[in-house]
Chains A and B, each alone.
Chain A
Amino acid sequence: MSKTLIRGAKVLGGEALDVLVDGETVAAVGAGLDADGARVVEAEGQILLPGLVDLHTHLREPGREDSETVLTGTRAAASGGYTAVHAMANTFPVADTAGVVEQVWRLGRESGYCDVQPVGAVTVGLEGKQLAELGAMHDSAASVRVFSDDGKCVDDAVIMRRALEYVKAFDGVIAQHAQEPRLTEGAQMNEGTVSAELGLGGWPAVAEESIIARDVLLAAHVGSRVHICHLSTAGSVEIVRWAKSKGWNVTAEVTPHHLLLTDELVRSYDPVYKVNPPLRTEADVTALREALADGTIDCVATDHAPHPHEDKDCEWGAAAMGMVGLETALSVVQHTMVETGLLDWAGVADRMSFRPAAIGRLAGHGRPVSAGEPANLVLVDPSYRGAVDSARFASRSRNTPYQGRELPGRVTHTFLRGRATVMDGELV
């Protein structure tokens, strides 16, 4: 197997060290390591992090290969510094059987760019009525541990309770897309002063918060694990903080776009800003950043949601919801969290690798950068400054809200079990 010596990178933003990768594992970490025939990557000034792990990715295959495939999505993931992604279940057909999750898992293995851990649907067809075969999905080759009806909320309290209870048998977790359906009928954007002015159906914060409040109570009651997808409001933060203070087994994620963008952008009626949950207010953005910094929010998850051009090149009401995010997530986190002083690079490693891997119980990812660990690594040049250009995306879709916006940082190398998937900023 080949050897690679990464020379002089700041490991987790700390001391500049050499890291020797031998085959699939990290062989040594230290100062002045001997290259000894290894390919050398000069990484002075760069940050070395464990490969990023995304708990929330829409790869669209099977069913919507016009917007993304497992191959294009994992190439986008590698470009963004990810070595593992959790593929959401809202495909066509829905990933609600062992057969579909195994298919997605296998496509991920074949891609070779990034590990794909399928998420199983909680209910058959995401319809919220009947539990899917959660056990069979867990027992399959895909070893599913995270279950979600993402895109739809498990709004029936009894179904949610049963799902939480049932997955205890195999240490599973229910990842809830918290959206009370009746309160969000016809909802188009955050409910507030901007929606009132624009005449777009309001999506009240309480529609998210009421479900989270119920679900943390349910999780506590049955002694199970609940994970809250894409927290978007200050009130949601308060509820999760309270639940954690009780010692309940609650985790939460925030998307990069909710750390940066607000509903003021909707004034353009440009559907690139249409997303579920909707962009909220400045006060929410501030609360989310603080919660990610203090650990109330466990991790950043992209909610990478590719859509073909025509689904966004139309009027707001007709447009699809979602944004791509894999290739810009780390830059947005550097911009919103690192450069504001809220989080150091070790914190970034924690929120974008260690914790998401731990929540997903994902073996081999989210491990420390030390000898004997799997060589899932990413090198970041934090001094880079450049405008986002979606024409360069590896993703099949271009629906980024950052087109033309200057963001800091660039992934120069990504290693998946020792193999470079990205070298000098280019996919290998």
Chain B
Amino acid sequence: MPLFPGGNPRTSGHLISAADLTRDDAVRILDTAEEMARLADRPIKKLPALRGRTIVNLFFEDSTRTRISFEAAEKRLSADVINFAAKGSSVSKGESLKDTAQTLEAMGVDAVVIRHGASGAPYRLATSGWIDAAVVNAGDGTHQHPTQALLDAFTMRRRLIGPDAGLGRDLAGRRVTIVGDILHSRVARSNVDLLNTLGAQVTLVAPPTLLPVGVEGWPCEVSYDLDAVLPKSDAVMMLRVQRERMNAAFFPTEREYSRRYGLDTQRMDRMPEHAVVMHPGPMVRGMEITAEVADSGRCTVTEQVANGVSIRMAVLYLLLGGSDHANANNTANAAGTTARTEEK
């Protein structure tokens, strides 16, 4: 019985890191998401797949966008949803993660979608023996945000290959440039892992202060020169750069940052015609991206939001195995079957 995801036996049955996904796992999630996306185009958007299952969205960090995306995905799968915002409560001490998790477990929760400010918190939740529920990492510290990487890959596959033509395929040979605050970005880490697994060539572009020590060992290229990289990019992903970084001397001024590393229309024109501009949001217009670029047809920001729901449906579907704890292969088949049933 193959594990899902299959890249790390310690965390199979959970989605903790994009690095835990094998190529086949990732393609299967993207293909399942494609089924889910088609469902979204129909008048009845709901699947009965997770009826009677309970999923809790456990958010220790504010993120309305991510929480709403998961919630929409869960509801479209007919799951019972509990939202738990732990932010602002007395969560300064670590034991409340364990206590909260065990409380939820006692209530019979099937899956925990967790967002946490501390890197490794979802891994700890999945591997410490505190709970039995499936754990989905919705972003932890500066570590990982695997569903973001999946939705980005899904968006690229749809745009660069096509929704139908892309089925069963990875991103072999596609060139993806990720620009901005790599050091503090879980999105960048997740994307480097996943895109590498899917065969894409990744280039990171940032001022040296915003690259982690040891980045030379990552499976990607690194450049300080955005203009040189743009003509060789099929997708350019702009990361948010928080203004506060300036105060910690990561770069001198906002103006200098956007001059060297921001994307404006002039720079966008250096990109190949087919290339897309991506952003995980929320954007800081005028900092890493100008308003014209953000609003242009090449920018996929709103598609990424829609694709996020499809990806999260696919992940929850595959992890929770539809109506029973079937093995991975059965779930994959069930996904197709259920979706097709709904078509009629």
Q: Are the CB atoms of A316 and B213 closer together than 8 Å?
A: no
- Nearest residue in A to B120 (C-beta to C-beta)? A269
| Interface core residue of A192, A197, A315 (most chain B CB under 10 Å) | A315
Residues A202 and B95 in contact, CB atoms below 8 Å apart: no
* In the complex, A372 has a CB within 8 A of chain B: no
Q: Mark B199-222, 1 if CB is under 8 A from A, else 0.
A: 000000000000011110110000
A193 CB within 8 Å of chain B? yes
Interface bracket on A: 20 to 34
Cβ proximity bits A284-324 to B, threshold 8 Å, 1 near / 0 not: 00000000000000000000000000110111111100000
Interface 1/0 per residue, B25-46 and A, CB below 8 Å: 0000000000000000000000
Q: Mark A254-280, 1 if CB is under 8 A from B, else 0.
A: 000000000000001110000000000
Chain A nearest CB from B19 CB (Å) reads 8
Q: Return chain B residues, CB-CB under 8 Å to A314.
A: 93-95, 97-98, 124
CA A142 to CA B117, docked complex, whole Å:
45
How many residue-residue contacts, CB under 8 A, span A and B? 84
The answer, among B98, B186, B212, for a CB contact under 8 Å with A196, is B212
Of B141-149, B158-166, B227-235, the stretch lying at the interface with chain A is B141-149
For the complex, give the distance between the alpha carbons of A202 and B209 in Å. Answer: 13
Q: Are A199 and B189 in contact (CB under 8 A)?
A: yes
Give bound CA distance, A201 to B119, whole Å: 9
Question: Contact between B124 and A197 (Cβ–Cβ < 8 Å)?
Answer: no
Q: Does B178 contact A (CB under 8 A)?
A: no
Q: Does A195 contact B (CB under 8 A)?
A: yes
Complex: chain B residue closest to A191, CB-CB: B213
- Please name all residues of chain B whose beta carbon is closer than 8 Å to the beta carbon of A317 when the two chains form the complex: 94, 117-121, 141
Interface membership of chain A positions 182-202, coded 1 if the CB is closer than 8 angstroms to chain B and 0 otherwise: 000000100111111111111
**Nearest neighbor of B192 in chain A, beta-carbon distance:** A197
Interface assignment of B123: CB less than 8 Å from any CB of chain A: yes
Tell me if A108 is interfacial: C-beta within 8 Å of chain B: no
Cα distance, A269 to B124, chains bound together (Å): 7
Given A199-B144, A314-B97, A315-B97: A269 in contact with B213 (beta carbons within 8 A): no
Docked Cα-Cα span, A49 to B157, in Å, equals: 69
Flag whether A204 is at the interface (Cβ < 8 A). yes
Are the C-beta atoms of A198 and B213 separated by less than 8 Å? no
B53 is an interface residue with CB less than 8 A from chain A: no
Set A194, A199, A315, A318: member contacting B142, Cβ < 8 A: A199
Q: Tell which of A197, A201, A315 touches B116, judged by Cβ atoms closer than 8 Å.
A: A315
A196 neighbours in B (Cβ, 8 Å): 212-215, 218
- B contact residues around A198 at 8 Å (CB): 119-120, 143
Closest to B248 in A: A185
Contacts of A199 in B (CB 8 A): 119-120, 140-144, 186, 189
> Bound complex: CA of A268 vs CA of B10, how far in Å?
10
Rounded to whole Å, the gap between the CB of B129 and the closest CB of chain A is 10
Task: Decide: B214 and A315 in contact? CB cutoff 8 A.
Answer: no
The 6 closest A-B pairs by CB, nearest first: A314-B94, A318-B94, A199-B143, A317-B118, A269-B120, A196-B212
Q: Which residues of A line the B interface, CB within 8 A?
A: 188, 191-202, 204, 268-270, 310-311, 313-319
Some 12 contacts from A to B, beta carbons below 8 A apart, are A193-B217, A194-B214, A195-B214, A268-B127, A269-B119, A269-B127, A313-B95, A314-B98, A315-B116, A317-B118, A318-B92, A318-B97
A-B contacts besides A188-B119, A269-B123, A317-B94, 18 pairs, CB < 8 Å: A193-B217, A194-B214, A196-B214, A198-B120, A200-B142, A269-B119, A310-B94, A310-B95, A313-B94, A313-B95, A314-B124, A315-B94, A315-B116, A316-B119, A317-B118, A317-B119, A318-B118, A319-B94
